Amino acid sequence: MNPSKYLRAVSIVAVGAAVALGFSGVPAQAAPKQGGILNFVVPDEPPSWDGHRETTFALIHPFAPFYSLLIKANPDNPSSPTDFVCDLCTEMPTPTDEGKTYTFKIKQGVKFHDGTPLTAHDIVASFRKIIFPPEGTTSARLAYFVMVESVSAADDHTVVFKLKYPSGAFIPALATPYNFIYSKAKLEKDFRWYETNVMGSGPFKFVTREAGAYVRGERNKDFHVAGQPYLDGFEAIFSNKQAVQVQAIRGDRAAIQFRGFPPKSTEDLVNALGKDITVQESDWNCVLLFTPNHKKKPFDDVRVRRALTLAVDRWGGSKSLSRIAIVKAVGGVAFPGHPLAATKAELEQLPGYWPDINKSRAEAKRLLQEAGVPELKFVLWNRAVDQPYTIVGTWLIDQWRQIGVTVEQKMEPTGPFYARLRSAEFDVTVDFNCQSVVNPLLDIGKFLSEDIGNESYGAYVDRDLDKIFDTMNRTPDEAEQRELMRQFEKRVLDEQAHSFVTLWWNRIVPHRSYVKGWKISPSHYLNQDLANVWLDK
């Protein structure tokens, strides 16, 4: 037997065993131990420190431990799209007024890290910033709260949300881990103060940040959950090189990288560390897109945009790329496997998903010819993060090459990359839609018109699309929701060809086995406050 094949087989078995161990959870859960510093790697740095503005894990991983939320995904069951627990509230409310009013009672005695009390007014100020941002400021999750009419404080410890219509999407939207609760006083002093400062009420207090190197936090002894956090502190180490991240875990410089690794790196770690590594795996509510700029020629022509998606062999790409990148599932706009997601048969009706890729590419060439750009050339802007951006971007270029399109790829660090997206200075960009709680009704807000969806970067306005979204979110009937979702999907991916899904991500997190209390979820944003993480050393 070829030794390399033998090794491969052993590796597969080892990874399988490790994954099985991860899935089986912690056998006979031991009592959490206090103390220790958790070192973890973060593959990128955030453009700013304001959770309400940003959409990247690079912000959540190092900064979520400094903040409390009103409600959050249950840290013991983070994979559930419906299991939410209070963080700052005392109990999950039952809606009144025919599902249009939610009243939250707030914990008393909660303090910000500067010692000032946290009250309902701070929560109201924070959600007003998210839901009704003043002109000139950015709220990335504006579209999540289209159903909200008002948010107010009935007294110091009661927050009331009034909705325009009952919506099952409201509670998941509230549990979004970016909804950091800020100090009203700080916001009044400077509405953008949190873009460059930290002051929350979370389980850890901000200690220091060294640009390009790390963020450090220490235990908040006055945390509002008794006994937590268990750790004395943490150090989030920035490193965008995957090889460095893997070596950091291998050398025990870091215990975990919460975002995830591709199969090969996981296999290497398992082979090297054996039982000292635990692997947790999950589907991932995250997808890479590519988005043409509708305001730039020739991408203002729907035929050109459709040609781009027709060239991409998603079915073949899934098989190949899943071996080297953190992507796997073929899907439409909704999280694959969700009841609202398209079936394979439905997907195969959409351009770019046809089973016959040759026919698809022939049609792409025809469309380019018809649009007068048979030898199209453009720049693909991409984020300078190995996984999966560089790999998928390079793969896309090869796909387009096969219809005669010449593409140059330009990579930028996260900050400049976001700035470019927001200013729409690109031909075509690799884009992404990563969400936290699996909630396709809101997750697809990414595709709305640019003036509604703040994360929509294609520079288009499509009121018919917005209308479908609105109708879908107002109807309680699941069958109707599904039908509307198909209409929405067809309009985005086919008729108007606004933005295109490549492949959905697959999350594999190998970590040092001494890291306990952390459970994987379908989002690398969820369950990251580290309050319940402890070290079994």
Partner 1 sequence: MTVATDLDTKVELTDERKPRSRLAAIGRFARRNPLGAAGAVVIIVMVVVAVFADFIAPYNPVVNAFDRMHEPPSLENWLGTDQYGRDVFSRVVYGSRTALLVGFASSFVGATFGLVLGVASAYFGGKIDLIFQRILDVFMAFPLIIMALAVIAIFGTGAQNVIIAITIPFIPRCARVVRSSALAIRELPYIDAARANGFSHSRIILRHMVPNVMAPFLIMITAFVGQAILLEASLSYLGLGVQEPTPAWGLMLQGGAEEYAESAPWIAVFPGIAISLAVFGFSLFGDALRDELDPRLRSQ
Q: How many other C-beta atoms are found inside a 10 Å radius of the C-beta of residue 64? A: 27
β pairing state of 37-42 and 377-383: unpaired
- Beta strands 377-383 and 406-412: pairing type? parallel
Q: Is the dihedral of CA 229, 235, 237, 238 positive or negative?
A: positive
- Is there a contact between 485 and 340 (Cβ–Cβ < 8 Å)? yes
Residue 43's contacts (CB-CB under 8 Å, 6 or more residues apart) are 57, 58, 238, 239, 240, 242, 245, 257, 259, 385, 386, 387
Nearest residue to 41 via CA among 246, 282, 324, 271: 246
Does the protein bind partner 1 through residue 246 (CB under 8 A)? yes
| String of contacts with partner 1 for each residue 212-241, x by CB under 8 A | ----------------------------xx
Q: What is the DSSP string of 94-144?
A: PPBTTTTEEEEEBPSS-B-TTSPBP-HHHHHHHHHHHHSPPTT---TTGGG
Nearest to 302 by CA among 499, 496, 448: 496
Residues 301-320 that bind partner 1 (CB under 8 A): 316, 319-320
300 binds partner 1 (CB under 8 A): no
Least gap, CB of 323 to partner 1 (angstroms)? 7
List the interface residues with partner 1, window 389-408 (CB under 8 A).
390-391, 393-395, 397-398, 401, 408
Q: Which of 323, 377, 422, 467 binds partner 1 (CB under 8 A)?
A: 323
Task: Choose one: 135-143, 384-392, 428-436, 459-467; the region binding partner 1 (CB under 8 A).
Answer: 384-392
First to last CA, the chain: 40
Q: Which CB sits closer to partner 1, 45 or 122?
A: 45
Minimum separation from the CB atom of position 241 to partner 1 (A): 7
Q: Which of 273, 411, 424, 461: binder of partner 1 (CB under 8 A)?
A: 411
Q: Does 33 bind partner 1 (CB under 8 A)?
A: no
Q: 366: Cβ–Cβ under 8 A, 6 or more apart, which residues? A: none
Give the nearer residue to partner 1 in terms of CB position, either 26 or 384. Answer: 384
Share in percent of the chain as helix, strand, coil (round to 5): 35, 20, 45
Q: How many residues bind partner 1 (CB under 8 A)?
A: 32
Q: Considering the complex, state which of residue 258 and residue 389 has its C-beta at the smaller distance from partner 1.
A: 389
- Choose, by CB under 8 A, the member of 39, 242, 257, 496 that binds partner 1: 242
- Minimum CB distance to partner 1, residue 33 (Å): 34
Between 51 and 262, whose beta carbon lies closer to partner 1? 262
Contact 14, 6 (CB under 8 A): no
In whole angstroms, the minimum distance from the beta carbon of 240 to partner 1 comes to: 8
DSSP 386: I
Nearest distance from C-beta of residue 368 to partner 1, angstroms:
20
Q: 10 Å Cβ neighbour count for 134?
A: 9
- Decide: is 422 part of the binding site for partner 1 (CB under 8 A): no
Q: Does 412 bind partner 1 (CB under 8 A)?
A: yes
Binding residues vs partner 1 (CB under 8 A): 4, 240-244, 246, 262, 264-265, 268, 316, 319-321, 323-324, 384, 386, 390-391, 393-395, 397-398, 401, 408-412
